Chain A
Amino acid sequence: MASVTAGSTTTCAHCGESCTTNDLMWTDKHFCCDGCKMVYQLLQKNGLCEYYSLNNNPGINQRKQVRSGKFAFLDDAEISDKLIQFKDSSQVHVNFYLPQMHCSSCLYLLEHLHQMEPAIIQSKVNFVSKEVVIVFDPSQFSIRKTAELLTAIGYEPYISLNDLKERKSKFNKALIYPLGVAGFCFANIMLLSFPEYLGLEDAEKQLQGIFRLINVLLSLPVVFFSATPFYKSGWKALRHGYLNIDAPIALATIVTFIRSMYEVTTGTGSGYFDSMTGIVFFMLIGRVLQDKTYEQLSFERDYTSYFPIAVTVLTEEGEKPTSLPNIKNGDTIKIHNEELIPADGILTRGKALIDYSFVTGESVPVLKEMGEIIYAGGKQTGGAIELLVIKEVTQSYLTKLWSGDQFKETETSKRHSFVDALSRYFTVGLFSLAIGAGIYWWLNDPTRMWHVISSILIVACPCALLLSNTFTNGNILRIMGRKKMYMRNAMAIEQLSEITHIVFDKTGTITNPKEQEIHYTGKELSHNQIKQLISLAAQSSHPLSKSIVRYFGQYSPNMSVTGYQELPGKGIEGFVDNELVALGSKSYITGQNDKYDPSTQVWIAFENTAFGYFTIQNKYREGLPQLMQDLGRNYKISILSGDHSGEKNRLEKMIPKGSHLLFEQSPQDKLSYIQSLQSKGEKVMMIGDGLNDAGALKKSDIGIALTDDSNNFTPASDAILEASQLKALPQFIKLSIANKRIVWTAFIVSIIYNSIGLTIAAKGLLSPMVAAILMPASTISILLITFGLSNVAGKRLFTNH
């Protein structure tokens, strides 16, 4: 320990983190902790060291040890059955979600599990969904052992209450099959239509019949299969008493088909099969692009994704893992370190230090004494505790939010796109025109009536509007995705463009949970004392200790600590350099209880003498005042905080005048606040990060979940934004407004095309050949316009900043 010079820290061969000690060695490799060393030894024993050569330090830090017996609940067949995909006497296929999966090394290791454990027959990774399917022999191995093996190599499976429900495939194949079929039919029909456009000589007239017949056959799958998404959507909207854009499109498709069939059967023409299949094909491409989802993200999470699948219940016969829905009032549950509290309860044994960062975004744990009520959603840090359940899981304070009315929205109350509204006027106008023209021709020349009506319906199909809309939405979604704003769907873009009021959550949203502002007050510390201090603090996983280590980043915590002790809720102590160093709360260090103080203090003592204290305050995210000023120009701003009003003065300086600041807001208060704004006619955007914002996020017109890492769990929302991009929020809003303008532009251009084409065609100047080429050409030019304009808009907005 003495030979190490400051600054020359070694990094762990497994996880790449800096080592606090050089004692942990094996062969020529250094390790930061025993856990990492064990994983390395295990992999080397099994000849899997290629894991380390594929990527630098691919491992997952093992400092936090997983409690043995954590997966005991998997021995319960009722619970483990939910994870099993397939089962017979010789094979069991089990599916695990491993959030730690991040590189090709992970893939390599997880697919070579059979090399470690002969009972494993095969393992296959799905990298996109971070899942692994493991096939093993049930006579030699069990699900619990599989989970424990994965944990031993650093990939602890994440098993949540959500797993109890049925899974559904995320990849949307429903549109891919129709698209493939439509593409095939469209291309072949185009090919077979050309001879007729070019003009057939008399000798080849027999061929015309064959070509037309094949065209009819090829159009059938398009009309009866590929176009069905449009029929369904249009019919569904009609049944709910409104018109969406798919209704006129479905109508135009059917009318074109009937008219073409009529022409072919009577021998009066070749029909419009090429145009019809082409339009269906392009519209399906637009749909597929627009519906592109971020498969690795989930926008639908409720509390079940956060909660564990089972918890230890203490019964007269001893500890028994019980699945969560079976927990009843009066049960005593045991919560171990790093476990989530699933139901409201009274603390009956142990000291609770609850980390509510899932719920509130606040990373500093809260101390609870025996007899106090602990609400569900927090995570215990420290030793095991026992709770007497007073409210069942579904009735708990936090989970009750999900049973509220705002989560029972029916299909009919869904928001409608402006495109649907536009197409409604369009359709009404179209019908009046078709009926008017029909009456006119019925009076003058009834033989031409149906011809005219069907022509109008075909020509005026709003497919250009649908195309420009879906393609623009798809492209804007992608541009935003590249900038780390992941929208749930195209509708969210439109909602974003219409907002008038922006509501922020405070803790974890506009403050950075990972960084704190730290000030030291007290006697001056020598270099050696600082090193002693951080060497001690580095032993603890408490967020405050971590903050102090980070604060003294230029020093390396490499002194050895003996007699280390962690007293939950109080502090830590240990001998460093033969001196007793202690870090902790004021009452622990000085022995005196102080009054309520809004800021967090960490006191330090050397040899039982208090030296001073660190004041640790929230740090606001970078560029926050600028962001608030930018947004304040066009929107009203509110900030809701679950905390006390200690930071009021500091915050007020940062936000524009006239903004609302509300403190001590419960999740229900936040929700009601959004509701009251909406009842005043405001379009509200809510930005939050924790489960306590979930109700407000859902209720708002557009809810954005902020996350520091998009692999983290976020509450249900309309969009997920990476925290580093919060400052670009005004640009995202501007881009969503540009989206609407681009759709309009493309739509107007297509109307101009149509009218020019129609006038020329009416004068008989357009040959069928030119018309057949112009139809797809105009479609493609519209797509180019939407792509070009949206890319230009995206570039202009994001390069200026």
Chain B
Amino acid sequence: MSAIIILLVVSISVASLFLFAFLWSVKSGQYDDELSPPLRMLFDDKPKESTSTKQ
């Protein structure tokens, strides 16, 4: 029986963790702009000198 109670506490706390993660992600504005972050990660930051060496 005590095992069930421990499991109960664990499962609800894990679920609450996800709930707070979700609420935090909404609050921090991660859903405000869903277009630019996936594009942003594709840009390579190159040093200023290496221009027009592409293709």
Contacts and interface: CB of A to CB of B under 8 A. Distances in A.
Interface of A: 44, 46-47, 49-50, 53, 104, 107-108, 111-112, 115, 125-129, 171, 173, 176-177, 180-181, 184, 187-188, 191-192, 204, 206-207, 210, 214
B4 A207 contact: yes
Contact of A188 (B12, B32, B51): B12
A126 B33 contact: yes
Contacts of A127: 33, 35-36, 39
B17 to A, nearest CB: 10
Nearest to A206: B1
Contact of B40 (A111, A180, A187, A214): A111
Contact of A128 (B16, B35, B40): B35
Contact of A47 (B16, B40, B50): B50
Given A47-B49, A47-B50, A204-B1, A107 B39 contact: yes
A715 B18 CA distance: 43
Given A188-B12, A214-B12, 15 more contacts: A47-B48, A50-B54, A53-B55, A104-B39, A107-B39, A107-B40, A115-B48, A126-B32, A127-B33, A127-B36, A176-B26, A184-B15, A188-B15, A191-B11, A214-B8
A107 B36 contact: yes
Contacts of B11: 188, 191
Contacts of B51: 44, 47, 49
A126 B49 contact: no
A506 B42 CA distance: 47
Contacts of B31: 171, 176
Nearest to A124: B36
Nearest to A52: B54
In the A-B complex, the 4 residue pairs with the smallest Cβ-Cβ separation, listed nearest first, are A127-B35, A127-B36, A47-B48, A184-B19
Contacts of B4: 207
A111 B42 CA distance: 13
Interface in B10-29: 11-12, 15-16, 18-19, 22-23, 26-27
B52 A108 contact: no
Nearest to B36: A127
Interface of B: 1, 4-5, 8, 11-12, 15-16, 18-19, 22-23, 26-27, 31-36, 39-40, 42-44, 46-52, 54-55
B19 A180 contact: yes
A171 B19 contact: no
A180 B54 contact: no
30 contacts: A46-B48, A47-B48, A47-B50, A49-B51, A49-B52, A50-B43, A50-B44, A50-B46, A53-B54, A53-B55, A104-B39, A107-B40, A108-B39, A108-B43, A115-B48, A125-B36, A126-B33, A127-B33, A127-B35, A128-B33, A171-B31, A171-B32, A173-B26, A173-B27, A176-B26, A181-B19, A184-B16, A184-B19, A188-B11, A188-B12
- Most chain B Cβ neighbours within 10 Å, of A115, A129, A173: A173
A207 B52 contact: no
B9 to A, nearest CB: 10
Contacts of B36: 107, 125-127
B13 to A, nearest CB: 11
A108 B44 CA distance: 10
- Most chain A Cβ neighbours within 10 Å, of B31, B36, B43, B51: B36
A654 B1 CA distance: 82
